[in-house]
Structure 1
Amino acid sequence: MSMNTPTYGVTPPISLANPTPKDNELNDLLIKELKLRGSFESEAATRKRVKVLNTLQKLTETFVYNVSRSKNMSEAMARDAGGKLFTFGSYRLGVYGPSSDIDALVVFPRYITREDFFTEFEKLLRERPELEEINSVREAFVPIIKLEFDGISIDLIFAKLDIPRIPKDLTLTDKNLLKNIDEKDLRALNGTRVTDEILNLVPKPTVFKHALRFIKMWAQQRAIYANVYGFPGGVAWAMLVARICQLYPNAVSSYIVEKFFQIYSQWSWPQPVLLKQIEDGPLQVRVWNPKLYSLDRQHRMPVITPAYPSMCATHNITASTQKIILDEFQRGTTIMHGILDGTKNWLDLLQRHDFFHRYKFYLCVVAATKSTYEEHLKYSGMFESKLRLLVQKLEMVPGVELAHPYVKSFENGYYCDSEDQVLNLINTYGTLKGEELASLLKSSKEKSESSNNTTNQQDNNASTNINGDNENLNQGNTNSDTTNDAKIEVNLTKLYIGLKLSLQKEGEKTLDIQHPCAEFFNICKSWPEYEVGKHFVQIKNVKLYDLLNDVYVEGETRPKKTVKRKRLVAKDDSKKKAKSVEANGTA
């Protein structure tokens, strides 16, 4: 290795070899596949994003000026106070597509408060004609304003630094900028700092970006892309790809993808994936260290952020999701062998997941709010963030081999005529009977994150309904908010967990999951804003052939029940019973 060759990462590269003609050919095909699938945005659409960001930067400066003047600062000082917009996530990494949102951070001087941000800055946003939708979530782990602005989805977070003004050329690389700020500000700053570090730690940014685009698309197609549900999120996938780029600094993107599957299918987990050595800093804050902290030792597939203070980006991974991820790495390795010998292509690697074909039993986990969609968003956000806790509790039940959470929610809103209809809808939502009832109701707004192609079903639903709000179902709030000519608005979210069972013990015929379900109900009900009669949580056992049509995308063939021919019952079989999931709740 030449003395002038820069090195990246915590170990020397595995190979400095340049790409072969075969590598270049596969790389051209990979980029062609990305283009065919609409991974890249048009230049006009990108210019529109830049225009929107420039508008938000001007609003930021106006906001700081207005607040500064209201706090008796001079005209000159208020004009000079600054305020700066930073981007992070997929937009900053350069791997965004036509439907991608923009993650943005606004940084303010020390005297601007979070309350100012959620009142005065939001007021400025609401005055803009480009604003289409806005939702503030002050109580989030990282407080956020979500908005649709001129057709672009933007997640806007806030941080203030302990400095009197924000210069236009400010960067966030200096660790001393993190002094004297609270934890929420620190978490907000972390996104931009991590993204910038990743870009600085890869040898060839264009190679990294194309490889990451492909891996992100693959992870989404295989339904293993969602930090909140126990899978790697966008930052984690970016760091995993970046590490492979460090090990093969002269490779093209197709070769990076090949080695991605080969290396991570053989990785010695829980050995961490690091892009640089973990650094100390000026703060009295916790830095990831499994030697010191028992919680860090429990991380199954640690991928560590490079910016101080280093954290584990994959701490949500459970025993079940780890197995699913490793199986997907192995599948990727097998298909890559086929791509290399010409029997497979990139399309095979990007084949859609089979989650709603794979298991005999599913749990349909439902959150409902008898109020507006905006009110429901607060509850459903908390609800979704707790699903992995239910997964972990299910993993501990004897007979549960795997508890596989699906990575997307399904949402609907309806107007009901009476309290009885509200309760009937909530009780049956996620079942064939509920689908039939919903088809008769007026939708309050189409909000599904998945393809909702619901049709009426005439079959009877044989699923078990475990009702977490049984004691409250007949105590509806007659004073609830009403819309649409005094009708009652109900918004619902459903999530799915696939169960792989292993009931092998003698006499073991059923699976009792009442205890983990009851614990999950209690977790949801302990939310500080939970209101009896307004918020509901339920878990329903649904068999494969009773899944609703809305979980299948257009053109996807739903599994069909095969009719088995009757046979004579042998003496040894006469005492056998079918295995089933049973939860001792209210049906």
Structure 2
Amino acid sequence: MGESKSKIGDSTLSRHKATTIQFDLTKPLSLSGPSNADIRRNAMLHKFLITSGVYESLEETERREEVLAQIRQIAKDCVKQVTSEKGYSSKWVKNANVVIFPYGSYRLGVHGPGADIDTLCVGPYNVRLQEFFSYLHKILAKMDEVTNLQTILDSYVPVLKFKFQGILIDLVYAPIYFRIVPNDLDLSHNSVLGYVDKKAVPSLNGYRVANKILELVPNVENFRTTLRCLKLWGNRRGLYSNVTGFLGGINWAILVARVCQLYPNANPSMLVCRFFRVYTEWKWPNPVMLCPLVESNRRRFHVWDPRKYLKDRTSVMPIITPVYPSTNSSYNVSTTTLNIIKDQFEFGKKMCEQIELRNGQWDSLFEFYPFFEAYPCYLLINVSASDEEDLLDWKGFVKSRLMKLTLKIERAHEKLQCHPCTNAYTDESISPARHCAFFMGLKRKKEETTEEVHMQTNEEVNVLATGAQFADEVKGRYPNWKQTMDINLNLVRREEMPSYVFRQQSVYMLSFKQLSKLTNVTK
């Protein structure tokens, strides 16, 4: 089946007539380049990024490459072992191969110190997903340099998570209908989708999307610097988390890439300011797209199109991936979290206006959002288990469902604003291996007043009832739930907030500010 070819020929998409869908993509808004003032501001921004520690050291870069090389060999050994135990010939076992494709922030070139590496592993069709994960899990579990090993099969994209020599790896697997997987396999063509199972397409598209973004931006280095800025800003303002209903890495990358297209000759300091100008004026739910959509008339895959699909019409902040089959990457954003994002974009716009008028510094834009000062009341979600291994899986499952809790509160209590915190906290008086806590800020919507409006007693009771219902649902749906695992929810006044929150928040803020002092940066 063309097993020695890396450039895949005709396939499901190319054999059938494809159509393009255009959603009013515009030409550049400005072709202007930087002025002398923009150049000065850009130099100051670059200096700020270095002192903020967003660049990793050369030593860490080399260690990542070594780790990826070791994982590639381990994965290849795993495939050979599975192939051998299935009774295939010695020649087949000898030629068994996998190819590793880093994606996400590492592929885009915007990863920082301590960042994880999203890794796609493409293997032969005779080694299925669960077989590969099962064998690889056994191999990794015996290695001293591997910790925090987790297999997550029930997610949209099944993933094997682990730390290898202290570097976090998120590994996904896609078997391709080749007997031998060539080392120069090219995943960029849509035709590759005809050689994989439909369920494997989301695993492939993480890498394909990252590659396409780099193709579609007019200046890759300016894109990377601007994206580093917005990732840092999103982290500090509490907006960097797809799982809790905000924006994940791919969302930020597409948003930044679109601004780069609109201002192709702008330098990063200009692009950061234009970012906030563009998205404070954006008329959501108009989609953010980098190129026209492509759709096959065979309709093997669902391509995002609100004119045809009711589900696509419910998106409040659609950010569309630029490869076939295009999807809405920001499906977790709700009405509540969109309003929070819009408020923060307004903050960013005001700070950038002051910087451009020479009345502000870049530090003011990147201030940490004072989450535990912003609300009169907080919903505290305590998660516990009997040991570290159980807690790792259990808290991950709970966090992945927090967006649903936000939606429950949003729908059941229309007068309340619910703001999930993207970080988890731990009470030091309890073993960290057995406990963690999540928080959601709560207050009544302001309506026409600018004064802080506190929750009322009956609203608090109703929120706790909603929380109890959520806790029961989470316990019931977690496949590995044990009697020693628990989740309970309580309301905490701002003035009664436990002290461990502020201690850990200080450590979190300090880690951002002092990363550059701990590494020799590459830039």
Normalised by the length of structure 2, the TM-score is 0.86
CA RMSD of aligned residues (A): 2.4
Whole-angstrom distance in 1 between the partners of 2:57 and 2:39: 25
Whole-angstrom distance in 2 between the partners of 1:112 and 1:411: 40
Residue among 313, 330, 334 paired with 1:318? 334
Residue among 172, 176, 200 paired with 1:157? 172
Whole-angstrom distance in 2 between the partners of 1:44 and 1:13: 39
Structure 2 unaligned segments of length 5 or more: list them.
Answer: 1-23, 448-452, 508-523
Task: Please show how residues 36-55 of structure 1 align to structure 2 within 5 Å.
Answer: 36-55=51-70
Offset, 1:509: 6.0
Deviations 1:141-196 (CA, angstroms, capped at 9, x unpaired): 32222111122111111111122221010121122322364454222112111111
* Cross-structure match for 2:442: 499
Offset, 1:236: 0.1
Kindly indicate whether residue 82 of structure 2 is the aligned counterpart of residue 67 of structure 1. yes
SS at match of 1:410: coil
Task: Please show how residues 213-252 of structure 1 align to structure 2 within 5 Å.
Answer: 213-252=228-267
Write the letter of the residue equivalent to 1:287.
V
Offset, 1:291: 1.3
Residue among 458, 466, 472 paired with 1:510? 458
Indicate if the aligned counterparts of 2:150 and 2:393 stay in contact, CA closer than 8 A: no
* Cross-structure match for 1:209: 224
Whole-angstrom distance in 2 between the partners of 1:196 and 1:180: 19
Indicate if the aligned counterparts of 2:280 and 2:346 stay in contact, CA closer than 8 A: yes
Whole-angstrom distance in 1 between the partners of 2:158 and 2:88: 27
Deviations 1:95-144 (CA, angstroms, capped at 9, x unpaired): 11111111101110110112321232233334445334422223333222
Kindly indicate whether residue 349 of structure 2 is the aligned counterpart of residue 401 of structure 1. no
Write the letter of the residue equivalent to 2:324.
Y
Kindly indicate whether residue 162 of structure 2 is the aligned counterpart of residue 147 of structure 1. yes
- Cα distance change, pair 307–48 in 1 and its aligned pair in 2 (3 A): same
Write the letter of the residue equivalent to 1:305.
T
Indicate if the aligned counterparts of 1:394 and 1:400 stay in contact, CA closer than 8 A: no
* Cross-structure match for 2:11: none
Residue among 380, 384, 389 paired with 1:368? 384
* Cross-structure match for 1:300: 316
Task: Please show how residues 322-401 of structure 1 align to structure 2 within 5 Å.
Answer: 322-369=338-385, 371-398=386-413, 400-401=415-416
Indicate if the aligned counterparts of 2:285 and 2:316 stay in contact, CA closer than 8 A: yes
* Cross-structure match for 1:537: 487
Offset, 1:502: 4.7
Whole-angstrom distance in 2 between the partners of 1:179 and 1:374: 39
Kindly indicate whether residue 58 of structure 2 is the aligned counterpart of residue 10 of structure 1. no
Kindly indicate whether residue 20 of structure 2 is the aligned counterpart of residue 21 of structure 1. no
Offset, 1:247: 0.7
Whole-angstrom distance in 1 between the partners of 2:181 and 2:227: 33
* Cross-structure match for 1:254: 269
Deviations 1:177-228 (CA, angstroms, capped at 9, x unpaired): 2236445422211211111111111111000000000000000000011001
Which moved further from structure 2: 28-37 or 396-405? Answer: 396-405
SS at match of 1:155: strand
Structure 1 unaligned segments of length 5 or more: list them.
Answer: 1-8, 413-437, 446-490, 558-587
Whole-angstrom distance in 2 between the partners of 1:283 and 1:130: 45
Whole-angstrom distance in 1 between the partners of 2:152 and 2:231: 27
Residue among 499, 523, 527 paired with 2:473? 523
* Cross-structure match for 1:200: 215
Indicate if the aligned counterparts of 1:215 and 1:257 stay in contact, CA closer than 8 A: yes
Whole-angstrom distance in 2 between the partners of 1:555 and 1:494: 13
Kindly indicate whether residue 206 of structure 2 is the aligned counterpart of residue 187 of structure 1. no
Write the letter of the residue equivalent to 1:138.
L
SS at match of 1:524: helix
Deviations 1:419-457 (CA, angstroms, capped at 9, x unpaired): xxxxxxxxxxxxxxxxxxx73x6x364xxxxxxxxxxxx
- Cα distance change, pair 71–502 in 1 and its aligned pair in 2 (3 A): closer
- Cα distance change, pair 305–541 in 1 and its aligned pair in 2 (3 A): same
Higher percent of residues as helix = 2
Whole-angstrom distance in 2 between the partners of 1:516 and 1:500: 16
* Cross-structure match for 2:152: 137
Whole-angstrom distance in 1 between the partners of 2:102 and 2:505: 37
Indicate if the aligned counterparts of 1:161 and 1:178 stay in contact, CA closer than 8 A: no
SS at match of 1:156: strand
Q: Does 1 or 2 have the higher relative contact order (CA < 8 Å, sep 6+)? A: 2
* Cross-structure match for 2:515: none
* Cross-structure match for 2:497: 547
Offset, 1:63: 2.3
Whole-angstrom distance in 2 between the partners of 1:531 and 1:555: 30
SS at match of 2:441: strand
Offset, 1:45: 1.2
- Structure 1 runs (4+) greater than 6 angstroms displaced: none
Whole-angstrom distance in 2 between the partners of 1:170 and 1:42: 30
Offset, 1:17: 1.6
- Cα distance change, pair 509–183 in 1 and its aligned pair in 2 (3 A): same
SS at match of 2:76: helix
* Cross-structure match for 1:566: none
Indicate if the aligned counterparts of 1:146 and 1:155 stay in contact, CA closer than 8 A: yes
SS at match of 2:243: helix
Deviations 1:60-110 (CA, angstroms, capped at 9, x unpaired): 222222322333333333333321011011111101111111110111011
Give the aligned length.
475
* Cross-structure match for 2:520: none
